Structure 1
Amino acid sequence: MKNTLLLLSSANFGALDSSLQRAVYHEYYTMVYRVIMYMVQDHGATEDIIQETFLKVVKHIPVVENEGQLKAWIKAVVRNTTYSYLKKNKKKRNEMDLDIFSKNEGIEFSSDKEAIEVEIELKAMSEGIGTYLNDLKPENRILMEMRWKQDLSYKEIAAELGCTEQTVKYKLHRAREAIKKRFLKEWGGGR
């Protein structure tokens, strides 16, 4: 069945045949895995978030007119749940290197071909982001490290560098935009 996600809104999920339930979950998993993994950088946490969001979706599915509306609603649930996870685990996240993906070595994935492909793509993306960071002007790279590695506020960075908070915000914005532009150029905006 091509659009199995629509079964979430058209029927009681628990009443579906187990093979249909697996098909719906597999389509859901495939749709959200890459995004969550990219954000949290931890396979176990990604699996937990996928399960948690799937249960939320099944319990609170809205009435929708088409698959596009359903996917948009699911993405909002996934995004909000992932942000909540990141807020709860902020200290752990801040201890990660800026090239956060290098810690994924040694993680065992299921033999599922798609999961392996996703992991390879994430590793390639992480290497690209690491390169983009290294290619920044040294002053911008230092700002990024102070903000994200050291978790300094704009005010603390400004005091340490002897400039205004507005200058720090502006330069950080420019650095993020430069990285984003290169990322989208190489990886495409539709991913």
Structure 2
Amino acid sequence: MEQWFNLLRSPIHNLDTTTQEWVYRSFSRFVFKDIYFIVNDCGLAQDIVQEAFMKVTEKGPRLRSDTNIQGWVRRVAQNTAIDFLRKWKNNRQIIGRINDNTYGVAQNEISVASEVETRVRNELLHQAINELKPGYRAVLLSFYLEGKSYRDICHELNLSESVLSQRLARARKKLSQHFLKKWADYDEQA
């Protein structure tokens, strides 16, 4: 999945046709549900996906940082949908239909989707914590879940503060690696 994000960073016209289609399909699958929840119209959502894709492929090569390209892509798509709604604001019939029939449903759907995502994220986080070495797991749980101070943990585990600090840093890094791998695997399955 991360492959097509990287391809968004290169000029799309330099890619072969098959790769361009694959990138577009991947992009569409990634943002369609977000856009659909905003406009609640399949055809309109597809049009907005195309417009958002054009924006992303135009601005992607000029991005300075790729730390959160997924979030950036999602935000561009959502802003494109919102911009569309703003353009049509003067036409009361269309905006009235969108607001009356779909905005409430979309907000409800987004909150349900967010709740499901939070539950899945928490489950994957717990799985990732359980995969850590017992020493890493102990310091993470003591510090973050039990709220113990460095001094208490050092006394409990008979460690110096520098060793504890280093162990916590390594534990966070390992946890991040385990969790991100699980999240990416889950996202590809979804």
Structure with higher helix content: 2
The structure having more radius of gyration, on CA atoms, is 2
